[in-house]
């Protein structure tokens, strides 16, 4: 019986940590891509990583600008140079691992913030599209970054920049395990290690603004667990405080020197979960302006406007987006197929312009979209067909959602709409935000 009880507790904790990871991995995104580096925190004792950090600053700045713009080849080339010039510093291999993670994360939809507004991303059962070569390269580079950090830590345990990077390595592992491998328990443990390491940094230097992000996101994640799981987490020494967590992530977004832009992106996702849409829009608009070649930031801004009910503004931005994509602007060739047409159709759908909406969704389905987008296009086309009074074609689309599977939220919504047509039977969460 004792063994059975321990197994049950472990199962509950695994469920708890899974939810924690679903939110907490967003903090890892901050640390995976530290963003533009503006300088080192004040008050450091001159030590090896401090010197490396100062000298490596221009290369890091340039590399992460390329990375956030999805110019992966340019980012990789600069990280190689960084590695050659600073062979004992973790930033080189860490950055090369970040390139692989960002490539894969973008492919699997982890960078599409709207899917994290609820739990749809985590309900999807698709397998991440990662090659054996990418997996091995990521693991090798992350392990090399860890080895370098551990060597410096043995030599100088008080080197805070090195300790920060060691925590960043754990955050990146959490991001990979959670979004690519869907190994949530492993990812949650890595996030706990990351938060613990960064709390050590803050204990030594409360002004190290970058180190607030991981523990802040963990605080937020634990505090927003269901009450029963939150109490269980408390028994295992895991405590959270939502407002403090949000404040800490926001501090990194305001003052961070290595994690500012990633923290701002995570904050935008948290603000959407909190229905603080004006704050989310401000954060994403800033990212879109800083990284104009990145298609996901532009689409995220459009998605928030749609969710706020700003259909005309969103449609105007979408038409510009599609024009740029078709002209080969920036990194827009990496745009997930079908997403622009999905959003364009939604801008018509929410205005009850059924024919225009149906045409846009059908166009998206013809673009060979990935499975998760295909499901959403079928669901939305069913909504438009219901609006037109074409019940049988609508039921065809809802049945396709259920037949294709892989998204439990959409499957539930499609099941509901088989009983009552759109828009009367629109499930909660499937229409614009009421306060938009």
Same domain as 149, residue 103: yes
Higher pLDDT, 5 or 61: 61
Instruction: Tell me which of 279, 304, 320 is where a domain ends.
Output: 279
Same domain as 45, residue 192: yes
Q: Is residue 426 part of a domain?
A: no
Let me know: does 37 contact 178? Beta carbons within 8 Å: no
Q: Is residue 422 part of a domain?
A: no
* CATH code, domain carrying 393: 1.25.40.10
Is the pLDDT confidence value at 143 over 80?
A: yes
Tell me the pLDDT band of 228, cut-offs 50, 70 and 90.
low
Tell me the pLDDT band of 178, cut-offs 50, 70 and 90.
confident
Is the pLDDT confidence value at 302 over 60?
A: yes
What residues form DSSP beta bridges with 407?
A: 124
Cα–Cα distance for residue pair 199/197, rounded to 1 Å: 5
Same domain as 303, residue 186: no
Tell me what pLDDT residue 153 has: 93
Same domain as 216, residue 304: no
Cα–Cα distance for residue pair 238/44, rounded to 1 Å: 30
Helix axes 184-204, 160-176, angle to 10 degrees: 160
Burial class (CB in 10 A: 0-12, 13-18, 19+), 282: middle
| Mean pLDDT, residues 350-372 taken together | 96
Q: Is residue 115 part of a domain?
A: yes
Q: Is residue 428 part of a domain?
A: no
Higher pLDDT, 184 or 339: 339
Same domain as 324, residue 237: no
Same domain as 309, residue 169: no
Count of CB atoms situated within 10 Å of the CB of 355: 11
Q: Is residue 29 part of a domain?
A: yes
Cα–Cα distance for residue pair 97/139, rounded to 1 Å: 8
- Mean pLDDT, the chain, integer: 84
Let me know: does 389 contact 424? Beta carbons within 8 Å: no
Q: Is residue 397 part of a domain?
A: yes
Tell me what pLDDT residue 229 has: 57
| Mean pLDDT, residues 177-183 taken together | 83
Higher pLDDT, 28 or 415: 415
Same domain as 58, residue 27: yes
CA 394 to chain centre: 32
Q: Is residue 322 part of a domain?
A: yes
Same domain as 252, residue 304: no
| Mean pLDDT, residues 75-95 taken together | 94
Instruction: Tell me which of 257, 279, 301 is where a domain ends.
Output: 279
Which single residue is written with the structure tokens 């996901």?
A: 296
Question: Which residues are CB-neighbours of 58 under 8 A, at least 6 positions away?
Answer: none
Give per-residue pLDDT as tens, 89-141.
Answer: 999 999 999 999 999 988 888 777 654 454 454 444 445 578 999 999 999 99
Q: Is residue 432 part of a domain?
A: no
The token duo for 186 is 């492993």
Same domain as 315, residue 265: no
Tally the domains of the chain: 2
Tell me what pLDDT residue 420 has: 96
| Mean pLDDT, residues 65-80 taken together | 96
Is the pLDDT confidence value at 338 over 50?
A: yes
Same domain as 317, residue 249: no
Tell me what pLDDT residue 435 has: 55
Cα–Cα distance for residue pair 193/198, rounded to 1 Å: 9
Cα–Cα distance for residue pair 253/283, rounded to 1 Å: 9
Tell me what pLDDT residue 380 has: 98
Same domain as 189, residue 110: yes
Instruction: Tell me which of 279, 303, 338 is where a domain ends.
Output: 279
Tell me what pLDDT residue 182 has: 79
Give per-residue pLDDT as tens, 32-41.
Answer: 444 333 333 3
| Mean pLDDT, residues 316-343 taken together | 96
Tell me the pLDDT band of 398, cut-offs 50, 70 and 90.
very high
Cα–Cα distance for residue pair 87/99, rounded to 1 Å: 18
Give per-residue pLDDT as tens, 12-33.
Answer: 444 444 444 444 444 444 444 4
Tell me what pLDDT residue 34 has: 44
First to last CA, the chain: 53
Tell me what pLDDT residue 114 has: 54
Is the pLDDT confidence value at 283 over 80?
A: yes
Same domain as 267, residue 357: no
What domain range is 342 assigned to? 292-417
Question: Which residues are CB-neighbours of 164 under 8 A, at least 6 positions away?
Answer: 197, 198, 201, 208, 210, 211, 258
Is the pLDDT confidence value at 1 over 90?
A: no
Is the pLDDT confidence value at 201 over 70?
A: yes
Tell me what pLDDT residue 128 has: 57
């Amino acid at each position: 019986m004792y063994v059975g009880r321990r197994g049950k507790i472990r199962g509950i904790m695994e469920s708890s940590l899974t939810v924690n990871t679903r939110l907490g991995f967003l903090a890892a995104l901050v640390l995976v891509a530290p963003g533009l580096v503006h300088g080192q925190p004040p008050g450091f004792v001159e030590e090896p990583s401090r010197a490396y950090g100062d000298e490596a600053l221009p290369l890091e700045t340039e590399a992460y600008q390329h990375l956030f713009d999805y110019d992966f080849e340019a980012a990789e080339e600069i990280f190689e140079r960084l590695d050659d010039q600073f062979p004992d510093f973790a930033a080189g291999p860490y950055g090369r691992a970040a390139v692989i993670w960002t490539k894969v994360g973008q492919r699997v939809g982890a960078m599409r913030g709207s899917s994290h507004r609820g739990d749809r991303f985590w309900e999807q059962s698709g397998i991440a599209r990662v090659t054996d070569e990418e997996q091995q390269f990521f693991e090798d580079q992350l392990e090399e970054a860890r080895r370098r950090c551990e060597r410096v830590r043995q030599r100088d345990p008080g080197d805070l920049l090195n300790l920060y990077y060691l925590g960043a390595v754990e955050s990146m592992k959490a991001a990979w395990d959670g979004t690519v491998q869907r190994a949530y328990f492993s990812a949650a443990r890595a996030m706990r290690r990351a938060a613990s390491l960064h709390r050590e940094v803050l204990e030594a230097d409360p002004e190290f603004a970058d180190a607030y992000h991981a523990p802040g996101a963990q605080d937020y994640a634990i505090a927003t667990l269901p009450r029963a799981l939150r109490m269980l987490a408390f028994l295992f020494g895991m405590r959270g405080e939502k407002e403090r967590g949000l404040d800490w992530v926001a501090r990194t977004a305001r003052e961070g020197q290595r994690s500012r832009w990633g923290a701002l992106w995570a904050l935008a996702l948290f603000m959407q979960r909190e229905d603080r849409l004006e704050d989310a829009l401000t954060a994403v608009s800033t990212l879109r302006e800083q990284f104009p070649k990145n298609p996901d930031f532009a689409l995220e801004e459009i998605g928030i406007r749609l969710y706020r009910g700003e259909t005309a503004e969103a449609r105007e931005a979408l038409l510009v987006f599609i024009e740029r994509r078709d002209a080969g602007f920036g990194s827009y060739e990496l745009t997930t197929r079908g997403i622009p047409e999905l959003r364009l159709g939604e801008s018509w759908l929410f205005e009850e312009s059924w024919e225009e909406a149906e045409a846009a969704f059908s166009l998206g389905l013809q673009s060979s979209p990935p499975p998760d987008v295909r499901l959403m296009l079928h669901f939305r086309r069913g909504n438009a067909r219901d609006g037109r009074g074409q019940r049988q074609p609508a039921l065809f689309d809802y049945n396709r959602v259920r037949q294709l599977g892989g998204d439990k939220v959409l499957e539930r919504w499609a099941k509901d709409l088989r009983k009552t047509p759109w828009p009367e039977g629109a499930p909660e969460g499937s229409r614009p935000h009421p306060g938009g």
